[in-house]
Structure 1
């Protein structure tokens, strides 16, 4: 007998029986029984896709009829123990009536218990293989969201070793540290380093939670430092050929160069080939640990409201790779009608660009009723006091909506993430790919208004599946009190609109088919030129040589090359040490060193922000090539006004203003510009712009403030301050660090530009992950609740601080930050 496969099934009349069940339409008991029999056949097939389809039919049947006995049997056989345990809790004695068989099944399931949760067979096998005794292997752990990759990190904490966790963003430092401190394996008092300057020479048995930039700096600071275990979180990022991922590959090479026995574990929700993560100039075996369990089966809908769209709600099936019209559904005039009607208790709405995120959140909020909720009103009051009463987020919150993107101030972002999780009346979060990198929030439905990610690319199949995995997380699905089997069918809606989806993708159904077809042969390429499997071509030879020169200067002899270009001057070596790649260091180092020597001969030291910016220009910016692709850094070379702005920004930073004061300063400065220029005042705002300033340029980086309300200016100020802080931190500070190492800046000026203070106690708190605002408040008012060790670079919070801050009615945002960090 010929074996059945999906291709043949798609050409059969199976869909006539299957679609009524899939679409939750009327279906006879006779057909339901037939479908159950077919599902059993599929589950017994050799084809893995048919097995998954068999499970899906059983799940759909249970959720439609309320008869979960078939699903109970199947989930036990497949090792989906969390599913079978939830059915047990829901049905109780209805399953077996207290028989011996019931007791036997219960005992079997207890072998999958871990603390208060139950693991699936795949999760248990992953844990078992990862923690094999005396295992010195490195693993690529490939498992969907919710499958417990984070628990693998905490499982190693009881080992007496130096452990490093590399996270992709600064925002994840505090979250990862918090997870470690809350784990049972963490020994209270063990040092956790989240900034390279927290490390002391000789530290041992410590945990480092760092971005790749901070890890490279740490390894450069202590040339003898080695780690025993390293975790690379969101490791799929390593495949991309970007500056930050070159630095991540560099960090991995340095880890292996320091200790050949270091175990490097790569954690990712998606990856086709583990060997694609292998970096050059290292040798280590990489074993793949993969979970491919099909416990959730999403219901994917599409409705195109664009000018040429049919406005018909359709349901997609990834097995048959077809859409079917949901004719029993009512029709919708616009995407907001559909979104509001189909929304669940908690909803993620994906919109690509931060500017569009805010405009859509406001558009949605205007369609929703205002909410009277004590917690929301208190939060609105706190954020208004911390930032400004005109912040558009507050308008959204009044109607149950928040937005979340990279230009929301960090401590406000932490605060609203927690608020969204805990407050029932906050139902909608509008966000972008910031959600793909480790942010965990409860949600039961996902709406996508765009298929793009960044300026030019579309969501890949892996990124889309990762985003879908963020809804109906196992924590919510299998919760002991509120668990719901219907959450195993997370609902996803693609909504086309002229405002947000625009013209691409041209066909939403084709976009979905290309990414979600169950048997689609996906492709993956190691584009990062520092990976073993990357292509070596004549076109990329120059870039490869530059990267290898950088490696040799950062970690000598790491590549084994003998013909590398090494820095010969003090300033050249410092530029490599601080990861300055904006110009050719070796080519320009002698000219820069000549300027440095002349300054030293005249005992020059920069005392002010204006002097510092001018010094940065003379030493660095003037050497940036005019064809640089980094338009922002190029402006510092070419535009006096750009340098004047950053001199002003440094000056404000040195005064340690609150965020509220910074907003007022920006708006005041813009209003002064308006007074001078009357009917036209263009200011540079980057991606928040709507004009090219009439200069015929391609990029709309500018906005004309004439006629703009104070509320518009306030909201522009909030996002621009956050983005400028990031630019200063990631880009400009490395130039300042070189100048400081050359002793060409006043020590007090340097500290105030870097930390907004020269107070060693406040600096220590900032290095330990406290925001500048919280550090100032705690040192000025609550120092007795802090245990500070300046020698060891550590700080701990004593009991009673939270209650005392509540008593004195401090900002709820800063109080939450304390609970998050402590």
Structure 2
């Protein structure tokens, strides 16, 4: 052990340092939570204490120990608010942050003042030269550079880091490295967990990747326009789109980058099996796999799942943004800060005996003068808390806000609650918002035009939206309590790299609702410990009789547990289909080998499936969420119902009824919180949506059609606590609930669940009759149109509403041959586009085409 490491070891266990940390945390916490306490000696550091803290920070930053380095940075962040103008502080901060390689924070801490100390200047020159990111003005932090250099040596790699670590930045930098080193010869995929992230990642890549040979695409179709020009591609796919791409005749993929890889490990997320299946297909095609995940200590687990060397992994615990943890309990009336060394620091606070008043006070006082994210878990709470808070604020007159308000009025509905909030500089944000609106909210928040966002767990999906403070009102996602990965992935949004040295995590108990920090002694352990346990996968642990239950699923037997959730049932069924597929194509996988090992009759069960199966393997590969027995029954039918030639309400209803019967939706899709079809009655409503969506109707028209359908048919709508009420078109609560339902149903029912069944049924028809279908209802559902030009425009990267507008008014800017766009006259479009008539659309085109 070196002399410095000896000093660091002593410092970390030094009681004096612990006391100093406790004191500066107390000062910081009191100033944040209760700024009305006047300064006194207890709330002020002595000159010696201040000097000693700086000295400790200087010693700790020289260590290789991540705990010491994080504590060194934490000291600087705690001192910053009070001492930022002090020259001595700036000198020490510059030295510490340069040694940590934290250049984004260096500019903040030194107030952009140049520190002319030889050691600091030399360190900065060396690191900025060696750790410069490829084709970028940015410099890697020490930890980022370590990951980047390791990746360059490996064919597969897995790493983890804190939420603010910059995992996407490392992926982008490595992609630039690949392009430079391999002469732009490779096609690349970035895999994201949900469609919500596709556009965010795609737009960022368009700005970062300057090589003109590369096109950024997000659909599993390579447009003829790009094929003929010998382009290379970076695809941004969900697992479903990757599966579609890999099971068709498409250009070869060389590298695959998996962001938010921890989604693979979930035991009750119905998308986890699809994630696993997509990556096993990629592995079979010898694609190099690179994984990034938040905070997981045993990041090699992702390599184990796919049979790769576990040595090619790295877990980073060093953070570029410090975080302060608080708990404000408005029920039991106590407020505490959790010290770095585990103690609770009590802070005086003002309580109001009302959840709305308590929350509003907290945002105004704790969140004063900065941007805040308020996590509420449920959509109902998110909207209600946002409405109540914004009702106390004056109007915020801003042209960008007004433009967004007008867009929502015209593209959604004039009574949508989001309008009330936006007028005050407040927004709510959840997966059920239209992507176009959600992205504009994110942009206005980043530009500090929107001050506060109330949200659900959308931020856990990887949406890059940090803030100075994050208020966490619930310790659950839906009905499931946070895992440690969930909590720290959400809490990690507190603090913005390049803007803040630190962020504040404020867990608040404002009500006695379920899963709202109701058992602080137990619920707060996840906050206090600041550690994430080793992750596991049921594919390796056999947790909950996983493999026996897969066997039971395949044999149509009862599961080993009576109380099994609908999501768990669907997960087991999907893994059963994937397992059957692996056996049919005679491929090895950890799923298959462990199934045979754990079940005495495992191989017999699989052999029986092979004998009874007549579905081609390429269809099975695309349909792992559908039981194989239904696919075989359909193929065995004497006569199949053909897909309709015309898209009408009656044609949609006919198709939905056929799917309901063929795939036994009454049994397979009627359970859980948000079933596809609780009963057959819902199909007439789906037919309304389906007909409008496929016939290219805008969202506002689809919403009006749904309101009319609910009103004329006397349908019930489920409100808070799932109590049904007869729909009333004059009730604003009812209308808003239906609007949210319609958006959810288009994205999750039409474009996902129904589309999957239609795709499978179409493929089975083509197999049975050995013919290519003329009417591609699967594409109709995915793209929301039957128009081949609008579909082609979406494949080129234009969203549905822009593609529809371009087809209607600007088709002469594209050359069409047959049903395909083969050329694009971009300059003509730029010169002819009516930016006065379509100002928002012009802004979107500017971003997409980088005008």
TM-score range, shorter chain: 0.7 to 0.9
The Cα of 1:524 is off from its aligned counterpart by: 3.1
Q: Secondary structure at the match of 1:348?
A: strand
Q: Deviations over 1:59-100 (max 9, x none)?
A: 4234422322222222233333444455455333xx43xx76
Which residue does 1:497 correspond to in 2? 510
Does residue 227 of structure 1 match 2:253?
Answer: yes
Pairing of 1:62-101 with structure 2 (within 5 A)? 62-66=80-84, 67-88=89-110, 90-92=112-114, 95-96=115-116
Distance 1:193 1:208 in 2: 5
How does the TM-score come out when normalised to structure 2?
A: 0.80
Alignment of 1:777-788 (within 5 A): 777-786=805-814
The match for 2:569 is none
Q: Are 2:374 and 2:452, in contact at CA under 8 Å, matched by a contact in 1?
A: yes
1:502-533 Cα offsets, whole Å, 9 max, x none, are 46432446533433424x4x42342343x588
Please give the per-residue CA displacement for 1:667-706, whole angstroms capped at 9, x wherever unaligned: 11222234xxxxxx523x5xxx336xxxxxxxx2734325
1:81-127 C-alpha deviation (Å, 9 max, x unpaired): 444455455333xx43xx76665455335324444233322222222
Q: State how 1:761-776 maps to structure 2 within 5 Å.
A: 761-776=789-804
Distance 1:199 1:377 in 2: 37
Are the counterparts in 1 of residues 376 and 455 from structure 2 also a CA contact under 8 Å? Answer: yes
The aligned residue for residue 198 of structure 1 is 222
How many angstroms apart in 1 are the aligned matches of 2:515 and 2:613?
53
- Taking a change above 3 Å as real, the CA distance of residues 447 and 648 of structure 1, as seen in their structure-2 partners, is same
Distance 1:402 1:459 in 2: 24
Q: Matched residues in 2 for 1:623 and 1:86: separation?
A: 59
Determine the C-alpha separation between the residues in 1 that align with 2:386 and 2:830: 33
Question: Is structure 2 residue 635 aligned with structure 1 residue 593?
Answer: yes
Structure 1 residue aligned with 2:175? 154
Deviations 1:534-577 (A, max 9, x none): 78766445269763653453671123777442375665767624
Query: What's the CA shift for 1:347?
Result: 1.5
The alignment partner of 1:90 has SS state of coil
The separation in 2 between residues aligned to 1:41 and 1:181, in whole angstroms, is: 42
In the alignment, which residue of structure 2 is the partner of 1:239?
A: 265
Query: Offset of 1:737 from its aligned partner?
Result: 1.8
CA apart distance, 1:31: 3.1
CA distance in structure 2 between the aligned counterparts of 1:352 and 1:804, rounded to whole angstroms = 45
Match of 2:597 in 1: none
Tell me if structure 1 keeps the 8 A contact 2:17–2:53. Answer: no
Residue range with higher mean Cα deviation, 247-256 or 619-628 = 619-628
Counterpart in 1 of 2:527? 515
Q: Decide whether aligned partners of structure 1 residues 615 and 540 sit closer, same or farther in structure 2, where only a CA change above 3 A counts.
A: closer
| C-alpha distance in structure 2 between counterparts of 1:19 and 1:758, whole Å | 61
CA distance, structure 1, for counterparts of residue 90 and residue 825 of structure 2: 49
The answer as to 2:388 corresponding to 1:363 is yes
C-alpha distance in 2, partners of 1:35/1:206? 51
User: What stretches of structure 2 of length at least 5 have no aligned partner?
Assistant: 1-5, 32-42, 555-572, 593-602
Q: Cα 1:267–1:566, aligned 2, differ >3 Å: closer, same or farther?
A: same
Assess if the C-alpha contact under 8 Å between 2:698 and 2:801 holds in 1. Answer: yes
Partner SS, residue 221 of structure 2: helix
| Deviation of 1:283 (Å) | 4.3
Q: 1:101 to 1:271 in 2, by over 3 A?
A: closer
User: Within 5 A, what are the aligned runs for 1:551-562?
Assistant: 551-553=579-581, 556-559=585-588
Q: Against the structure 1 CA distance between its residues 303 and 570, is the aligned structure 2 distance closer, same or farther, given a 3 Å change threshold?
A: same
Q: How does 1:54-69 map to 2 (within 5 A)?
A: 54-66=72-84, 67-69=89-91
Which of 707, 716, 732 is residue 682 of structure 1 equivalent to? 716
- What is the aligned counterpart of 1:526 among 526, 530, 536? 536
Alignment pair present for 1:671 and 2:711 = yes
List gaps (5 residues or longer) in structure 1. 478-486, 675-680, 692-699
On the 8 A contact 2:24/2:79 being kept in 1, the answer is no
Aligned match for 2:322, one of 293, 297, 311: 297
Whether the 8 Å contact between 2:372 and 2:470 is mirrored in structure 1 is yes
* Whole-angstrom CA distance in 2 between matches of 1:331 and 1:712: 30
Displacement of 1:434 after TM fit?
1.1
2:277: which partner in 1?
A: 250
Per the alignment, residue 434 of structure 1 pairs with: 458
Is the contact made by 1:451 and 1:459 (CA closer than 8 Å) also made in structure 2?
A: yes
Equivalent position of 1:119 in the other structure: 140
Distance 1:258 1:538, change over 3 A: closer
Q: Distance in 2 between matches of 1:16 and 1:174?
A: 44
1:712–1:801 distance in 2 versus 1, CA, 3 Å: farther
SS at match of 2:712: helix
Offset, 1:779: 0.5
Indicate if the aligned counterparts of 1:195 and 1:210 stay in contact, CA closer than 8 A. Answer: yes
Alignment of structure 1 residues 392-407 onto 2, 5 Å: 392-407=417-432
- Taking the aligned partners of 1:378 and 1:626, their CA distance within structure 2 comes to 41
- Cα distance in 1, alignment partners of residues 56 and 306 from structure 2: 53
8 A contact 2:467–2:495 mirrored in 1: yes
Quote the offset at 1:291 in angstroms: 3.0
Aligned to 1:697: none
Q: Match for residue 798 of structure 1?
A: 826
* 8 A Cα contact 1:236 1:270, kept in partner: no
Query: What is the SS of the residue equivalent to 2:292?
Result: strand
Query: What secondary structure does 1:656 align onto?
Result: coil
Q: 1:569–1:593: 8 Å Cα contact kept in structure 2? A: no
Where do 1:353-432 residues align within 5 Å? Answer: 353-422=378-447, 424-432=448-456
Indicate if the aligned counterparts of 2:217 and 2:797 stay in contact, CA closer than 8 A. Answer: no
- Structure 2 residue 53 is matched with structure 1 residue 27: no
Alignment check: 8 A CA contact 2:835 2:842 kept? no
CA RMSD of superposed structures (Å) = 3.7
Cα deviation 1:23-48 (Å, max 9, x = unaligned): 46223223333444555666678975
**Match among 325, 330, 344 for residue 323 of structure 1:** 344
Task: Show the counterpart of 1:180.
Answer: 205
Residue 136 of structure 1: which of 144, 155, 158 is its match?
A: 155
> Residue 232 of structure 1: CA displacement?
0.8
Distance 1:254 1:117 in 2: 35
Per the TM alignment, residue 273 of structure 1 is displaced from its structure 2 partner at its CA by 0.7
Deviations 1:260-316 (A, max 9, x none): xx320001222121232135564445511333324422122221223xx21x43222
Normalised to the residue count of structure 1, the TM-score between the two structures is: 0.83
Would you say the 8 A contact 2:162–2:316 is kept in 1?
yes
**Is 1:447–2:471 an aligned residue pair?**
yes
Give the counterpart of 1:705 among 721, 727, 735. 727
Distance 1:100 1:819, change over 3 A: same
Q: Is the 8 A contact 1:300 1:492 kept in 2?
A: yes
Q: CA deviation at 1:176?
A: 1.9
Contact 2:188–2:233 under 8 Å retained in 1: yes
The offset of 1:428, in angstroms, is 0.7
Secondary structure at the aligned position of 2:373 is classed as strand
Cα distance in 1 for partners of 2:470, 2:825 equals 39
Distance in 2, Cα, partners of 1:787 & 1:286: 51
Does the residue aligned with 2:389 lie in a helix, a strand or coil? helix
Q: Structure 1, residues 341-380: CA drift from partner, whole Å, max 9, x if none?
A: 2224321111111222111111111121111222212221
CA–CA distance in 1 between the matches of 2:666 and 2:429?
Answer: 37
Partner of 1:465: 488
Aligned-residue offset at 1:191: 4.0
Between the aligned partners of 2:774 and 2:660, the Cα distance in structure 1 is: 17
